[in-house]
Amino acid sequence: MPDPASLAALHAQAFAHPWSAAEIAALLDTPGTFVVAEDNGFILARTLAGEAEIITLAVAPAARRRGLARRLVEAATVRAMALGAEALFLEVADDNVAALSLYRGLGFEIVGRRRGYYARNDGEPATDALVMRLSLNS
């Protein structure tokens, strides 16, 4: 398993509000939490009581649009199913067109909205998060 410092470095490349190595280590210490990683990206997810949640998916900008995110989500889906999950959830910014296309293409459906969930660095208003769900038992 990759160390929290290397995961944090990848997360910092992918997000305006990156997580620290300590934050990632704390998540990894949570029961049911797992990581799937490749050289230029990783997915952090957890399972509990028959459900799974993608906590974060980070892909280095130079490695985007090459299928890495899809492979990571697919691998996390298989792992979640092996751990007994019947549904996989995630949250995504409603203006993240590439991610929405990926998730819809994998069969996720929008099941909710969290208004003003994601803060912006540039003084722009916060954007909504869409809650998406993938059924794992059909």
Asked if residue 53 has pLDDT above 80, the reply is yes
The structural domains of the chain, ordered by start, are 4-135 (3.40.630.30)
pLDDT at 138: 61
Least Cα distance to 83 among 111, 55, 52, 54 occurs for: 52
What's the N-to-C CA distance of the chain in angstroms?
A: 30
For residue 16, what pLDDT band results from cuts at 50, 70 and 90? Answer: confident
Give tens-digit pLDDT for 65-109: 899 999 999 999 999 999 999 999 999 999 999 999 999 999 999
